[in-house]
Amino acid sequence: MIVEFDSVVKRYGKTMALDNASLEVPQGAVMGLIGPNGAGKTTSMLIITALLSRDGGRVRIGGIDPQRDPLAVRRHVGYMPDFFGVYEGLRSSEYLDFFAATQRIRPVARPAVVADLLALVDLEDKSDSDVNTLSRGMKQRLSLARALIHDPELLILDEPASGLDPRARVHLRELISELNRMGRTIVISSHILSELEGLCTHLAVVDHGAVKAVGEIDDVRSQIFGRQRVSLRVAGSGVVEAEQILRGRAPVDDLEVFGDSMQFSLNGGDNESADLIAQLVSEGIQLAEWRLDGAGLEELFLELTHDGDRTAVDESVAEPSGSDAGEGSSK
Ligand code: ATP
């Protein structure tokens, strides 16, 4: 495990930003941290990058406690914050050269490092452009290049797609996938689930400082699906037989019958659902309707994150929060 969080606690005054949060990120994974505003995503990321201390629990990054040896952790970790701060009048190449210098890359090696990174993030032709004239998507890619300067094995990306148009999002997504294929482990936060689907191998649902579900995408899916209700309707007069078949079966809970229809909680995912349908059909039950309520990850996410805060999925009303580490914000 490259990231280990065990019952981590972080308080800001009376605010419990992390409340016994536990999660693990395996080497080579793309782990999505999903949660509504204020869930604790940025706080987790700042602790991983050794920019913030914890108040309790155990943290290991590549086996190292960031509180004991922050410099060693930072050598392994590249961090892209959720804001882009820059001095006036700096060109893209100068911006990267400056951060290469802070990483103690020798002056003679720096031009090649900068050129390679600009090529990687597809900004070669913007090398001489003033950073402030770049589009939002270009700034995000430059910020990603900055996070890569010391060739870290773990990349922490805080809301990298926020404020990007669909085309820029696709571009960034491809870049992140490519970095993962090149062997880097990536932790990426978002409050928009669709941004993470198809990109992440693992997911952690964070809310009010707690990790509500974590694991491989499919596991999280079944944890979520484990809470969904099935509504079914039987054609003809088979409802009593259908009830007898379903009652007492492991994935079926809280079964209620209403006329020719019934509802129950399904403990499982698509496989369990398909098995039950097959069983009913093989016993001659004519199913007129079979509906999974809350079947989407989005609904699951809303259910898991406190009282279904819609800001969690509606970016038009969600404001990214600032951070107290690193440069000044210029969002
Ligand atoms: P967002 O999606 O809005 O960026 P987040 O999931 O990254 O949210 P955090 O920024 O980690 O959430 O914040 C977790 C909680 O800690 C929130 O209640 C936030 O208001 C609080 N918090 C964060 N930073 C500070 C700070 N420097 N001082 C006081 N409270 C803070």
- Average pLDDT (39-45) is 95
Residue bearing the bigger pLDDT, 62 or 324: 62
Does the structure show a pLDDT above 90 at 220?
no
DSSP assignment of 85-131, as one string? Answer: ---TT-BHHHHHHHHHHHTT--TTTHHHHHHHHHHHTT-GGGTTSBG
Residues with CB under 6 A from ligand 1: 12, 15, 17, 35, 37-43, 191, 320-321, 324
Among 67, 50, 54, CA closest to 156: 50
The contacts found for 116-124 with CB under 8 angstroms, 24 or more apart, are 117/145, 117/148, 117/149, 118/92, 118/93, 118/145, 120/145, 120/148, 120/175, 121/145, 121/175, 122/171, 122/175, 123/92
Name which residue sits closest to atom 16 of ligand 1, judged by CA. Answer: 17
As a whole number, the mean pLDDT across the chain is: 85
For ligand 1, atom 11, name the residue with the nearest CA: 40
For the residues 142-159, what does the mean pLDDT come to? 94
What's residue 278's pLDDT? 95
Measured distance CA(226)–CA(277) in Å, rounded: 17
Share of the chain above pLDDT 90, in %: 60
- Ligand 1 center–CA 21 separation, angstroms: 14
pLDDT at 269: 74
Probe target for ligand 1 pocket from 11, 12, 18, with the most ligand atoms within 8 Å of CB: 12
Report whether pLDDT(169) > 90: no
Confidence (pLDDT) at 290: 94
Q: How far is the CA of 224 from the centre of ligand 1 (A)?
A: 25
Query: Is the predicted pLDDT of residue 241 greater than 60, yes or no?
Result: yes
150-164 mean pLDDT: 91
* Residue 161 Cα distances to 88, 143, 192, 257, angstroms: 24, 12, 10, 46
Q: How far apart are CA 56 and CA 67, in angstroms?
A: 11
- By most ligand atoms within 8 Å of CB, the mutation choice from 15, 158, 196 for ligand 1 is 15
Tell me the CA–centroid distance for residue 40 and ligand 1, in Å.
Answer: 6
- Cα separation of 264 and 285, whole Å? 17
pLDDT band at 171 (very low <50, low <70, confident <90, very high): confident
Degrees, nearest 5: CA angle 240-246-249: 150
Helix 136-147 × helix 92-102 angle, to 10°: 20
102-106, 151-155, 217-221: range with lowest mean pLDDT: 217-221
Give the tens place of pLDDT for each residue, 70-109.
999 999 999 999 887 777 789 999 999 999 998 889 999 9
The answer to which of 91-100, 151-160, 298-307 has the lowest mean pLDDT is: 298-307
